[in-house]
Amino acid sequence: MKAEQYLNAVKTFADKVLDHGRDVYGPKRTPLFVDGINVDTLQPPIWKKNGEKWILSNLATQQTLIRVLDGLSSATGDPKYRNAAIAATKYAFENLCDPSGLLYWGGHWCYDALGDKTVGENKVHEFKHHYPYYEFMWRIDPEATKRLIEAAWAAHVLNWENLDFNRHGTYGVDPTGVWDHTYKDGKVPFIGKGLTFMMSGTDLIYAAAMLSYFSGDPKPLVWAERLAQRYMDARHPMTKLGAENFSDPESRRVEKQFPEFGGRFTEATVVDLYGARYTYCAACLLRLGETLGPKGRKFMQWGLEDLTARAKYGYDEETNSFWAMLIDGTKLTPADRKHDGYVEARWLEKRPAGSQYFFPYALAYKLSRDKLMWDMVRKIGKGLGLGDLGKEPGKDSAVNTSTNADDPLLIFGLLELYEATKSQVYLDLAQKIADNALESRVTNGFFVQSRNHVNAKFDDPLPLALLHLRAALLELPDKPPAYWLSNGYLHCPYDGVGRTYDRIVIYSRLRGEPEP
């Protein structure tokens, strides 16, 4: 039976992670996981900086893995998977926090399992669409989870009166009374001291909203709504398009790079510069709305409004892509970059409407039953080789049953459509993609980008997608842990390469290619 085939694939993966993915390196042995493994040598990849060699153990980039282990124990009845995740999380709470309770993890700082020390770049806390599994943390240690979330807000917010914040947080900040500051709102956008990236903002929004959900304290939710409102208030009044920042930094680096636009081109007026607002961020707001129920109505509405605006402005069905734009609707191209500076020419190219767009629009359709959301799912699905999902949901579909797609985000999206419609065609198509993935994305029991890739990142969403697909096939009343479209990473200098991402220098490496 397909359901058991999917479960066995996840179980094989998890068993191998438990056997080969623990911290057995350096003088100190811990219950932590390393971030990934070479599928041929069964040794973890090495990060090289200033002549040092690190084995990365970044709990922030393992949160989908933690969800998989938790869900697998529920599916199999074997507690060893969940217990391993509990042990790693407990160890981090007890040994990898600063005095405020903020973990040493995230985009620039983490634990080195080889040297038994924290490492990275500049010792700053950064979150961008990491979306940790706070439910799990709360079950393990509510007080430590509360301290972590409050410390994150204290570390990142620079001005509580207008919620100017920075994507980089400072360790060692006192979080006492974090929800008792005075808020004055005020006009947006403004010139601020921080960089108010929405992919960082939604991580703070998500954290505070979930803390309120667990604890019953209304104060964190109030602040989560205030921060989300900042992005919405900075939208263009006519198009309702928003940028990924609600402020412009004091340097005005983008405005100065594009003087031809007379001040219209800033970090607070350019759409989709980083590809996050209408993908990761929209999905986060929608999922928050779904999770929180009536208390999450604002988040859901804002997510729907964002996806509506982007559907109306900038989507090119012929190429299944989105134009780079200003929030007033002005289309941009690389030719508009006439001066060197922060914004790279490639950021102004049309952005392919890949699975990271398909999933939020599918989730939006399920939650709203809105026709525009359906039309976007249908168009993007066609562009991704899924065939015709139907002029109307569940009707007159002509899906591509021969698709070679193997993307887990498509599985998640199709499962949202199946939940909304109960149309078997979407469940069957999800199975086809899962079967493709098991054929093309598994090596030695680990999940990889393709069989040509040599390093497996344990935080791959495919095993979680397989658990959800199994639950749908068996019509189980209890779902596995929710998928939050997270995309954790480490961003740091690498010897001989420069400043780069682990997903590039490690997890994009093909078999036969030499290590950098």
What's the pLDDT score for residue 202?
98
- What pLDDT, in 10s, does the model give residues 220-264? 999 999 999 999 999 999 999 999 999 999 999 999 999 999 999
Look-up of token digits 């301290």: 147
Q: Give the residue numbers spanning the domain of 239.
A: 124-352
408 upstream amide cis, omega within 30 of 0: no
pLDDT of residue 516: 84
Distance CA 166, CA 65 (A): 28
Burial classification of residue 372, based on how many CB atoms lie within 10 Å of its CB (0-12 exposed, 13-18 middle, 19 or more buried)? middle
Please compute the mean of the pLDDT values over residues 291-317 and round it to a whole number: 98
For the question of whether the overall pTM of this predicted structure is more than 0.85, the answer is yes
- Do 188 and 234 touch, CB atoms closer than 8 A? yes
CA distances from 456 to 54, 133, 195 (A): 17, 21, 32
Number of compact structural domains in the chain: 1
- Domain membership of residue 87 (yes or no) is no
Q: Which residues contact 399 (CB under 8 A, 6 or more apart)?
A: 386, 387, 388, 389, 425, 426, 428, 429
CA distance 157 to 135: 24
In a domain, 400, yes or no: no
Whether the per-residue pLDDT at 515 is higher than 90: the answer is no
pLDDT interval class at 467 (50, 70, 90): very high
Asked, for residue 458, whether it belongs to a domain, the answer is no
Torsion of CA 164, 166, 172, 177, to 10 degrees: 30
pLDDT at 1: 80
Return the percentage of the chain with pLDDT > 70, whole number: 100
In a domain, 153, yes or no: yes
Q: Quick check: is 156 in a domain?
A: yes
pLDDT tens digit string along 53-63? 999 999 999 99
CB environment 90-128: b (16+ within 10 A), e (fewer)? ebbbeebbbebbbbbbbbbbbbbbbbeebbbeeebbbbb
* Residue 286: inside a domain: yes
Burial of 443 (C-beta count, 10 Å sphere; 0-12/13-18/19+): middle
| 216 located within any domain | yes
- Determine, yes or no, domain membership for 317: yes
Check residue 514 and give its pLDDT.
86
Q: Token pair of 341, please?
A: 């500076």
Q: Which residues 6+ apart lie within 8 Å of 31 measured at CB?
A: 22, 23, 84, 87, 88, 90, 91
Q: How far apart are CA 508 and CA 348, in angstroms?
A: 23
| Tokens (6 digits) for 336 | 């508009």
Note the pLDDT tens digit of each residue in 402-459. Answer: 999 999 999 999 999 999 999 999 999 999 999 999 999 999 999 999 999 999 999 9
Return the CATH number at 233. Answer: 1.50.10.20
How confident is the model over 106-155, as pLDDT tens digits? 999 999 999 999 999 999 999 999 999 999 999 999 999 999 999 999 99
